[in-house]
Structure 1
Amino acid sequence: MSAAVEDVLRFGPAIVLAVAVAWLVLATRRTSREIGGRAHGFGRSLRQRLARVLFGASIAGAALALGLHAAGSTSRLFEPLAGEASAVRLAGLALAVGGQVLTLAARGSMGRRWRVGVPEKAPDHLVTTGLFGLSRNPVFLGMLAMAAGLAVAVPCLAVVACALAFWIACEVQVRDEERLLERSFGPAYAAYRSAVRRWI
């Protein structure tokens, strides 16, 4: 493996996650300003508490794991689970970047209707066009692609565990959001749900 490839595989995953977290913070603040309220927040149900904890733990854990990986930690938590070739790990990093691009594009399609968590009040319009005409959850799909890609790029126990926790949080969150949209948009959402798949 060349030194350049080694550097990309060492620092790239941490950079990808750092950019995603920074974008999430900025996008949430921007949307909050646009709507004159909070664009983030999880409900008080046990399911929502679980989702919030899993999202937070998976992101914080991945940031720590990828940061330590970039710093060259020799902890057993960062030993590869399988002897993946550099090409496979680079493909994982490419998948993570692709997921990030999908997330940004899908969030852009939602505009001021984008939220983090399940809001108390549904947005004023159901977004069903663009990427949302191909998947009901392209933002989550992009985030899951990013998590999976990072786990392939850094195939160790810590990063894989964070990716699995993030996937569980997404599954919980998507189903809670679906219930909110069904209550809020009734037949329009039912028609959309029957025409477009949850993921792909």
Structure 2
Amino acid sequence: MTAAVGDPLRFGPAIVLAVIVAWLVLATYRTSREIGGRAYGFGMSIRQTLARVLFAAAVVGGLVALGLHAAGSASAAFAPLAGEASAIRLAGLALAVAGQVLTVVARSEMGCRWRVGIPDEAPDALVTTGLFGLSRNPVFLGMLAMAAGLAVAVPSLAVIACALAFWIACEVQVRDEERFLERSFGPAYTAYRSAVRRWI
């Protein structure tokens, strides 16, 4: 594998994940300031605790796994299982970047209505236009595309496990958010849910 291919596959995945994590932390902080409250908060139910723990494990585990891969760790848990299929792995990195862009654009479309977890109070209105007119969960869709792309770019046991944990967390969180939005917005959310798919 040439350096022109090997370097992006070695360092690119860790950079993609680190950039989106840093951006999400800053976006959460900024939104919290804009709304004068907390934009981050998971409920206390078992399901919400599970989602929060799986999200944290996936993100922290992914940062560690991709960082060790970039550092050249010889451990089997962090080494790609798929050998030198560089074209497929580069396609995975491209998917991760596309997911990153989708996440940023979709989150930006939500503005100060964006939250992480289940908020104490619902935002003032549903976001149903732009990307949200095509998918009810474009932010999660972008992050799932990123997780899948990173698992293809670095198909190690550790990264695949993190991607699976993230997927399970998203499935739990999306369903909890749907129930919250239905309670908060009633018929308006029911109509939106009937018109727009959960994913794509």
TM (norm. structure 1) is: 0.98
What percent of counterpart residues are identical? 82
Is the aligned partner of 1:10 residue 2:10? Answer: yes
Instruction: Report deviation, 1:2.
Output: 1.4
SS of the aligned residue for 2:145 comes to helix
Task: Give the equivalent residue in structure 2 for 1:75.
Answer: 75
SS of the aligned residue for 1:120 comes to coil
- Structure 2 unaligned blocks of 5 or more: none
Alpha-carbon RMSD across the aligned residues, in angstroms, is 0.7
SS of the aligned residue for 1:77 comes to coil
Residues in 1 aligned to 2:59 and 2:188: alpha-carbon distance in whole angstroms? 34
Task: Give the equivalent residue in structure 2 for 1:163.
Answer: 163
Residues in 1 aligned to 2:142 and 2:75: alpha-carbon distance in whole angstroms? 30
Q: Equivalent residues in 2 for 1:105-116 (5 A)?
A: 105-116=105-116
Count how many residue pairs are aligned between Structure 1 and Structure 2: 200
Q: Equivalent residues in 2 for 1:115-154 (5 A)?
A: 115-154=115-154
- Structure 1 unaligned blocks of 5 or more: none
Residues in 1 aligned to 2:73 and 2:147: alpha-carbon distance in whole angstroms? 21
Spell out, residue by residue over 1:164-198, the C-alpha distance to the aligned partner (whole angstroms, 9 max, x if none).
00000000000000001000111110010000000
Report the residue type matching 1:91 in the other structure. Answer: A
Residues in 2 aligned to 1:11 and 1:80: alpha-carbon distance in whole angstroms? 13
Report the residue type matching 1:77 in the other structure. Answer: A
Confirm or deny: 8 A CA contact 2:80 2:155 kept in the other structure: yes
Task: Give the equivalent residue in structure 1 for 2:196.
Answer: 196
TM (norm. structure 2) is: 0.98
Task: Give the equivalent residue in structure 2 for 1:19.
Answer: 19
Residues in 2 aligned to 1:79 and 1:14: alpha-carbon distance in whole angstroms? 14
Task: Give the equivalent residue in structure 2 for 1:184.
Answer: 184
Instruction: Report deviation, 1:84.
Output: 5.4
Report the residue type matching 2:118 in the other structure. Answer: V
Residues in 1 aligned to 2:189 and 2:21: alpha-carbon distance in whole angstroms? 30
Show structure 1 runs of 4+ deviating over 6 A. none
